[in-house]
C-alpha cells in the first residue's frame, strides 16, 4: 500500500508541476500545485488499491468455494431410487 501512495504522490507531483509550469506560473506556484496534485493522487491511488485488494480477496474466496463444491459431494442432491 505504501508503494501505491509513493507512486501516486510522485506521479501527481510531476503532473501538477508540469501542467502548472506549462501555463507559465512562477516556481512557488508550480510547487504548490505539485504538492496539491501529489496529495490528491496519493489519496486516489490509496482508494484504488484498497478496492483492488478487496476485489482480489473476493475472487480468491469465490475460487476456494468453487473448488470446495467440486471436491465435496453435495448433501442436498436427491438420490434417485431405481424400482
Res 78: pLDDT:
60
Contact 4, 43 (CB under 8 A): no
Burial 41-74 (b: 16+ CB within 10 A, else e): bbeebeeebeeeeeeeeeeeeeeeeeeeeeeeee
DSSP of 38-49, one letter per residue? HHHHHHHHHHHH
% helix, strand, coil for the chain, step of 5? 80, 0, 20
Q: Which three cell numbers stand for residue 43?
A: 489519496
pLDDT of 76 > 60? The answer is no
pTM of the shown model:
0.69
Digit-coded pLDDT (tens) for 28-75: 999 999 999 999 999 999 999 999 999 999 999 999 888 887 777 665
Block residue for cell numbers 516556481: 27
Amino acid at each position: 500500500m505504501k508503494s501505491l501512495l509513493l507512486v501516486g504522490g510522485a506521479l501527481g507531483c510531476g503532473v501538477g508541476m508540469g501542467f502548472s509550469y506549462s501555463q507559465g506560473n512562477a516556481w512557488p506556484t508550480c510547487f504548490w500545485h505539485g504538492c496539491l496534485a501529489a496529495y490528491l493522487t496519493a489519496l486516489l491511488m490509496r482508494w484504488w488499491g484498497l478496492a483492488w485488494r478487496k476485489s482480489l480477496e473476493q475472487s480468491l474466496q469465490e475460487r476456494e468455494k468453487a473448488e470446495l463444491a467440486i471436491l465435496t459431494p453435495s448433501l442436498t442432491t436427491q438420490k434417485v431410487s431405481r424400482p
